[in-house]
Amino acid sequence: MSYLTHLECSHCHQQIAADQLQRLCPDCQLPLLARYDLTRARGELDRDALPNRPATLWRYRELLPVRDPHHIISLGEGGNPVLHAPRLGNLLGLNQLFIKDEGQNPTGSFKALGLSAAVSRAIELGVQEFVIPTAGNAGGALASYAARAGVPAHIFMPRDAQRIIQQEVRVTGADLQLVDGLITDAGRHAAAAAAEFGWFDVSTLKEPYRLEGKKIMGYEVAAAFDWTLPEVIIYPTGGGTGLIGMWKAFAELAQLGWIHGPRPKMVAVQSEGCAPVVKAFHEGAEETSFWDNATTLAGGLRVPAAVGGRLMLQTLRESQGTAVTVSDQEMQAAQKLLAGAEGIFAGMEAAATVAGLQTLVEGGWLEPDQRIVLFNTGSGLKQDHF
Ligand SMILES: *Cc1c(COP(=O)(O)O)cnc(C)c1O
Ligand SMILES: [Zn+2]
């Protein structure tokens, strides 16, 4: 059922076996990317027959890593709409503005896509107990998918994360460990626990398959535009899986012969209080560096260090995109602007893309007729700090 062939190190490009548990490249300690036999898929898979399948992540199952469909752990994630946003567009002088609404996912955020893929594949490869460090939403998603799979999960989360997300974890019966500090501190605790107890650590990009779930957003954008791509994608960037995943998807789609022509400019939006990717991008650096004293209301953007730093910067540069910061005040105003104009109650992270869009419009970086897609990565209903 899957065309998965092997894993490839994103840095040294060595091939690694895919049918056993893997995390980072053993030599580089950098992310591994799943590779598929796309030549065979191109000959056998009919893009135009896909709409006959249910509109979920798993519509694209041959391009996801799970070999036996019995191992799929699903809550109906994926298949979310690309909504035209004419009233918001009008306010900003843009004629073709769209919002990909991932706030409609189970668990209220797009973390569901990555965790459905990663948990399913890990279960297939024999994992019986999971651990994750999280800023919030990834923990809620792991707790939910682990419950759905009937296996235990351990969630390391900053003590000041949204209360509603803490409750989302607790209600599943998962083990919630509140940590003093940020996601990076939670990461140290999770890694130590994984080593001590043999739990499988599904940290962002430290195993190869959360990325595969998130890449499907790129497939869905292409399908929504009838197998063309928009000119600009604006993405609220933390660990970067969506950014990197969609860029990977566009390369796969071209190899499949499902899309032709130019790819979008990819834009990363971060908070002024935590902007390692924006800083490295404008400095011309190849790697991000640790952001001290990270602080922002957008929990998903409070990521001071990411193992995918290089890949994010490559994506922004190859796509001729850019990177911008916004303040927490701008996000708060943008959250209201979006809800008032379009009826979409997005979390602070997605509000950041609206604020970033305003900055790009003011700076003359966008053209009025470009098709621009913002990502609502998570619902405002998961927020109880305002
Ligand atoms: C995790 C998260 C992000 C950041 O996503 P990455 O793909 O890790 O960059 C953005 N928004 C929300 C709502 C999140 O939960
Ligand atoms: Zn390597």
Which numbered ligand comes closest to the C-alpha of 139?
A: 1
Distance 31 CA to ligand 2 centre (A): 8
d(CA 330, CA 147): 37
Residue identifier of the C-alpha nearest atom 10 of ligand 1: 300
pLDDT of residue 160: 94
Neighbours of 258 (CB within 10 A): 18
d(CA 50, CA 40): 17
pLDDT of residue 9: 98
Residue identifier of the C-alpha nearest atom 3 of ligand 1: 300
Distance 269 CA to ligand 1 centre (A): 11
Distance 22 CA to ligand 2 centre (A): 13
Reported in sequence order, the residue ranges of 211-282 that DSSP labels E, i.e. its strands, are 232-236, 265-271
Which numbered ligand comes closest to the C-alpha of 296?
A: 1
Distance 66 CA to ligand 1 centre (A): 23
Reported in sequence order, the residue ranges of 170-309 that DSSP labels E, i.e. its strands, are 175-179, 200-201, 232-236, 265-271
How many CA atoms, within 13 angstroms, populate the side-chain half-sphere of residue 268? 34
| Ligand 1 atom having least distance to the Cα of 245 | 7
77, 102, 109, 348: which to mutate for ligand 1, most atoms within 8 A of CB? 109
Which numbered ligand comes closest to the C-alpha of 111?
A: 1
d(CA 351, CA 332): 7
8 A C-beta contact, residue 218 and residue 254: no
pLDDT of residue 386: 67
d(CA 294, CA 274): 5
Neighbours of 98 (CB within 10 A): 23
pLDDT of residue 134: 95
> Quick one: tokens of 218?
């790129």
Reported in sequence order, the residue ranges of the chain that DSSP labels E, i.e. its strands, are 4-9, 15-16, 32-36, 82-84, 96-101, 130-133, 153-158, 175-179, 200-201, 232-236, 265-271, 322-326, 371-376
Residue 24, classed as helix, strand or coil, is coil
Residues with CB under 6 A from ligand 1: 109, 111, 137, 204, 236-242, 300, 347, 349, 377-378
Distance 345 CA to ligand 2 centre (A): 41
Residue identifier of the C-alpha nearest atom 4 of ligand 1: 238
Mean pLDDT, residues 143-149: 98
pLDDT band per the 50, 70, 90 thresholds, residue 166? very high
d(CA 374, CA 115): 22
Q: CA torsion, points 116, 118, 122, 125, in degrees to nearest 10?
A: 100
Residue identifier of the C-alpha nearest atom 2 of ligand 1: 300
d(CA 119, CA 115): 6
Q: What is the pLDDT of residues 235-270, one digit of tens each?
A: 999 999 999 999 999 999 999 999 999 999 999 999
> Quick one: tokens of 308?
């995918």
% of the chain surpassing 70 pLDDT: 100
183 torsion bin: left (phi>0), alpha (psi -120 to 50), beta (else): alpha
373, pLDDT greater than 70: yes
pTM as predicted: 0.97
Distance 3 CA to ligand 2 centre (A): 22
| Ligand 1 atom having least distance to the Cα of 137 | 15
Query: Domains along the chain?
Result: 82-109+208-382 (3.40.50.1100)
pLDDT of residue 338: 98
Distance 188 CA to ligand 2 centre (A): 22
Which numbered ligand comes closest to the C-alpha of 33?
A: 2
How many CA atoms, within 13 angstroms, populate the side-chain half-sphere of residue 254? 11
Q: What is the pLDDT of residues 78-137, one digit of tens each?
A: 999 999 999 999 999 999 999 999 999 999 999 999 999 999 999 999 999 999 999 999
d(CA 105, CA 87): 24
- Amino acid identity, residue 80? N
38, pLDDT greater than 80: yes
Return mean pLDDT, the chain: 97
Strand partners, 176: 155
pLDDT of residue 385: 72
Q: What count of residues does the chain have?
A: 386
